[in-house]
């Protein structure tokens, strides 16, 4: 893992704004950080935050990822890119990372599944994401674009559209995205390994 920031200073017009910036810089949650006020004025204040320690669950997931990366992509560098009360986001950078992604992302999906299950067993309710050079983010943006285009076609033609086969995680992404459109609904067909989402207009 790359060198971790353990102390930062952040300013804001309110304590909440400064604390949000501070936690974002440290990639930590409030219970992992000691905070002190360096300066306070009428319209702004400056906070200093020191990272006390990572939660045991994140440390254990990092160790599990290190073991996987050592086998599949020894040159890979694990970075903890984001930590909030809802999300923990690991990203892996480096050369020759194809072994971590696999054909059509199958290896990365298997790693994601293993890490998600391990994190859940630690009584963690936060979502955890393992990415490789932003592969998952790029895939999500592409998928979102395709789904949005499909929604416009359904709205124009009134006909259902069957999307490409997806794994359970990609289907979850689509379900969450489609929730933003009150006039759209979904159902699925097919077997689990090649299940497809059908987009259609919700009856008024």
DSSP 86: S
Please determine whether the domains at 56-133 and 138-201 fall in the same fold group of CATH.
Answer: no
Closest CA to 55 of 83, 14, 89: 83
Q: At what angle do helices 106-121 and 56-72 cross, to 10 degrees?
A: 150
pLDDT at 84 over 80: yes
- Give the right CATH number for 56-133 from 3.30.450.40, 3.40.190.10, 1.10.10.10, 3.30.300.20: 3.30.300.20
pLDDT digit string (tens) for 15-71? 889 898 888 888 888 888 888 888 888 888 888 888 887 788 888 999 999 999 999
CB neighbour list of residue 138: distance below 8 Å, 6 or more residues apart: none
Overall CATH class of domain 138-201: alpha beta
For residue 134 the two structure tokens come to: 């932003």
Q: Where are the domains of the chain?
A: 7-51, 56-133, 138-201
pLDDT value for 4: 60
pLDDT value for 24: 86
The tally of CA atoms less than 13 A away on the side-chain side of residue 136 is 21
* Residues paired with 200 in a beta bridge: 185
pLDDT digit string (tens) for 180-193? 999 999 999 988 76
When pLDDT is averaged across residues 148-153 and rounded to a whole number, the result is 96
pTM over 0.85: no
Residue 183 burial (C-beta neighbours within 10 Å; 0-12, 13-18, 19+): exposed
């Amino acid at each position: 893992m790359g060198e971790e920031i353990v102390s930062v200073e952040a300013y804001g017009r309110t304590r909440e704004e400064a604390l949000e910036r501070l936690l974002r810089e440290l990639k930590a949650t409030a219970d992992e950080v000691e905070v002190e006020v360096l300066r306070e004025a009428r319209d702004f204040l400056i906070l200093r935050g020191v990272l006390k320690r990572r939660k045991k669950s994140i440390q254990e997931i990092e160790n599990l990822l290190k073991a996987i990366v050592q086998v599949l992509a020894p040159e890979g560098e694990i970075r903890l890119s984001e930590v909030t009360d809802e999300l923990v986001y690991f990203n892996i950078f480096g050369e020759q990372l194809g072994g971590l992604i696999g054909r059509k992302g199958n290896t990365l999906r298997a790693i994601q599944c293993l890490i998600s299950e391990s994190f859940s067993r630690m009584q963690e309710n936060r979502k955890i994401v393992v990415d490789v050079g932003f592969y998952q983010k790029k895939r999500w943006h592409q998928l979102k674009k395709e789904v949005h285009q499909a929604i416009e076609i359904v709205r124009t033609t009134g006909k259902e559209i069957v999307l490409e086969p997806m794994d359970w995680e990609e289907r979850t992404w689509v379900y969450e995205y489609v929730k933003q459109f009150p006039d759209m609904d979904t159902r699925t067909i097919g077997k689990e390994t090649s299940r497809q989402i059908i987009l259609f207009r919700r009856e008024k």
